[in-house]
Structure 1
Amino acid sequence: MVDYTVPAAYQRSTGRFFTVLQWRAAQRASRDAPQGGRVLDVGSGPGALVRTLARRRPDLRVDGLDVTPQMVAHARGVLARAGLAGRTAVTVGDAAAMPFADASFDVVVSTMSFHHWSPLATAVREVLRVLRPTGTAYLYDVGVAPFDGVRAAVDDVPGWTCERVLVRGLALPSVLYRGVRLRRVTS
């Protein structure tokens, strides 16, 4: 059994499987973030997506949030060694009680994390709370993750919508992963 609180064990067991998913997440977040915007990765683990986003878009401020102190310490080291510490921050915290002000982020992204969020509805409301009015969230996970719970939580917050997004593999749609986009309803 893999101990997912240990960064090296996590990376050995998931690195190859999540690479394409994280690349797609970075692609969408980079596309949607405005110039000089701010992005949050919830469940950032060892910081790979935070690093990818910060490298891809040098104008962005990229934050990570993870419940595991060992992962946060590891991610901070990775980002410092990459010379990205000035534009990134990784914080220990729970998705259901985020330590960020309302409307702090232009994009929130999460890969392979929300099946751990508890209570799920509270965490989804927190994602919506920290998004700016024009913001977008992308939540990606395995196909059996509680996507219906995400949709129900979004439906309970007036003015927001939850839409399925296609998760492509290298060439074809993924059979392993699913994704949703959360955004304000526009008239």
Structure 2
Amino acid sequence: MRTIIVDDEEPARLVLREFLSAHEEIKIVAECANGFDAVKAITDSQPDLLILDIQMPKLNGFEVLELVDRPPSVIFATAYNQYAVKAFEVHAVDYILKPYSKERLTEALDHAKEHLKKKPLPVQELAAAVGMRSTPLERILVKDGSKVHVIPVDKIDYIEAQDDYVSIKTEGKTHLKQERMAELEKELDAAKFVRVHRSYILNLERIARI
């Protein structure tokens, strides 16, 4: 399996590379220390497998996948279990918590092989060991041609539904993102964002400042 390693911590990449050396079927085609390099490497190399950290500078692991047109099979390797729900929503084949053992990595690689054979394991089975909890979005990415706009959610005034898109109003600007309103609503903090109409979500904190 052609594999890319993405982690902003060099010691973590060294450990992972050592563990992977025991697997002859794994060929590491790139190593990346940040999200932007990862997007480029995935686009250029078209790997079979991505072993991806979540908390990284510039772009986090989920944002990397959002910017890739055809993401490969993904194993998330992270020190935090609160992202497990979202990991399986983006069809990760496994989610391993640092520090992990050689045996746990081997198990994750077996899941990746099954996924590549079009026999993915049930999400419930994969998630059971990590205590799934969801965490609200902190920022939203919007692709605009070759540019990427990073919008902190606390800067959003309101969001308007437009068919299969959402129009995000922030600081006097409008950004159009291809995502359904219902899906975006699930990812926002319900204590800060409220859907007041089938077509509108308001940021309560921004209203308080008017």
Taking structure 2 as the reference length, what is the TM-score of the superposition?
0.35
Which structure would you say has the larger RCO, counting Cα contacts within 8 Å and 6 or more residues apart?
1
